[in-house]
Structure 1
């Protein structure tokens, strides 16, 4: 059957709940206060309905998921697209599924469908490897903050997905014609 990228639907909610709960076990162990870490079935369903929840299926089984936020939860910080609830089934980690799904969302959805120059996401320094993983993938911290909830320093990260569009925006800000 191979691999398929697609939007999740409500029939996927139970599988996504199990996948996200298993993948976010380290988040709970670190006592990070991330909504996805303890999401109920109703919250998973709400995420599917209110946002764009994408999945990667391998041989008919969902192995990874990522959400493009459609809400106003980060509008006070960034006007760029914001991705969240990124998870790979622990049984399938290390097979490249997460990277392929993230690449697909960055290019096919963020750059090609939305026409955005960049994408953002958030993570915490307290997590032992997420910040460095995103930095290796081309993300840079553009804003640091402490939410005051015990998570420690968090970072809003940005990755430019359309360098041409980004340079055109900079040129227009400088008053240049091209």
Structure 2
């Protein structure tokens, strides 16, 4: 059965919250403090109401999610005025099966580049996380800003260009 990517609705809040908690639980062993680990279903419901939360479903089950916070939804402390990948997670039962790549690529290319014509996107991750920064850099993201989150975790912000400049033909 093929995957289905859809925009989450308020009724999906508990399922999204559960997916995020299960996926981010793995960082507890590294003592990394991501704010979603202190989140609530109500916080997820509020994010669904104001941001674009995508769900990738396989046989009806949410197996991956990515949240896009648009520039007009960000506060004045945002390092740039571009779409921001807020939450990105894959259900631990479905890791290493390509679902994370599928939903992130769909968000970057279909939603942001093709539909919204966004020139770039950015995200943040903990500097101390042993592999996330490398994964994002392998996807074309480059570090450009550093800040500490409200829980005291040092974060690196990475940006990826989405626009592909077509070569301008020379006059003959």
TM over 0.5: yes
Match of 2:98 in 1: 96
- Cα distance between partner residues in 2 of 1:102 and 1:60: 19
Query: Which stretch of structure 1 is more off in the superposition, 98-107 or 25-34?
Result: 25-34
Match of 1:157 in 2: 158
Query: For 2:124, what is the secondary structure of its paired residue?
Result: strand
Aligned residues: 166
RMSD: 2.1
Match of 1:61 in 2: 61
Shift of 1:33: 2.9
Shift of 1:147: 4.5
Match of 2:147 in 1: 145
Match of 2:6 in 1: 6
**Pair 1:122-2:110 in alignment:** no
Structure 1 gap ranges (5+): 169-178
Q: Which aligned pairs between 1:41-80 and structure 2 lie closer than 5 A? A: 41-70=41-70, 71-73=73-75, 76-80=78-82
Give structure 1 regions of 4+ aligned residues with deviation exceeding 4 angstroms: none
Q: Which aligned pairs between 1:3-42 and structure 2 lie closer than 5 A? A: 3-42=3-42
Query: Which stretch of structure 1 is more off in the superposition, 141-150 or 20-29?
Result: 141-150
Change over 3 Å in CA distance of 1:75–1:164 after alignment to 2: farther
Q: Give TM-score, length-normalised by structure 1.
A: 0.85
Query: Which stretch of structure 1 is more off in the superposition, 89-98 or 137-146?
Result: 137-146
